[in-house]
Structures are given as structure tokens and as C-alpha cells.
Amino acid sequence: MNRTKVCRVAFVLFAVAAAAAAAQEPAPAGGGEGTEIKVTAKKYEFDPSVITVKKGDHVKLVITALDRDHGFKLEAFNINQKLKKGDPATIEFTADKAGTFPFQCSDFCGLGHRKMKGKLVVEEQ
């Protein structure tokens, strides 16, 4: 197994463990549901590129840049976060308005930088 593969296996194991831990946590009290979404960023895409939540949700995005530094800009919610390679960034906000809101990479990362984008869909309850 090469190094990349070892890293990937370790990452998957970590993700599974984190998911199992999260599943055991009680739901946050009051207000909207807590929603944690893991996202990866690499040249030139976010995965998932469409993030769907419900209006009123407290959204927690944990975004990891895989191949180099990127950025995450979600203008509608005043978010512009630098994503350091390999260092998961946690972005929290309340999805207090319904609609479809574009987000994009905010750290120039190469020829496809401007195509590196996605959208947040906030559905009415």
C-alpha cells in the first residue's frame, strides 16, 4: 500500500469513528436541528457540491481541503473561511432563510478555480 492509500484508509476509519460518535450524541435542545455536514475541497470541486438543509437548522460544516489550500465563501451568510490543506475547518451558522445560495472557492487555486463552486439549498420546513 502506498502512502496515499494509507492516508485514505486512515481517513475513512476516522470518518466512520466520528460518525459513530456523532450518532450517540443527543440532539441539541431547542431551536432548529443541529446538522453536521462533512465536505471535502480539492481542485476543482467541493464534495458534496450541493448541500441541502432545512430552514432553521443550525448548520455545522466541517470542510477539509485535500490537495492544497482552498477557501469557502458563502456570501449570503457572510462566510469566507480559509481552508488549510489537511486541516478541517468548522463553519457554523443558522440557516435562517430559505432559498438557493451559491458558494465558491475564495483562495485562487489554479486554472479551474472559478469553476470550483456549489450551492447551499435551504428548504422551507
Residues of this chain that bind Cu ion (CB under 5 A)? 70, 105, 109, 116
Complex with Cu ion: residue 74 or 122, whichever CB lies closer: 74
Q: What is the DSSP-derived secondary structure letter of residue 83? A: E
Q: At 74, is the secondary structure helix, strand, or coil?
A: strand
Q: In Å, how far from its chain's centre is CA 2?
A: 27
Q: How far is the CB of 9 from Cu ion (least distance, A)?
A: 25
Complex with Cu ion: residue 39 or 116, whichever CB lies closer: 116
Complex with Cu ion: residue 103 or 122, whichever CB lies closer: 103
Q: How far is the CB of 75 from Cu ion (least distance, A)?
A: 16
Q: How far is the CB of 19 from Cu ion (least distance, A)?
A: 26
Across the chain, the runs of DSSP E, i.e. the strands, are 34-42, 45-47, 50-54, 58-65, 70-74, 79-83, 89-94, 99-104, 117-123
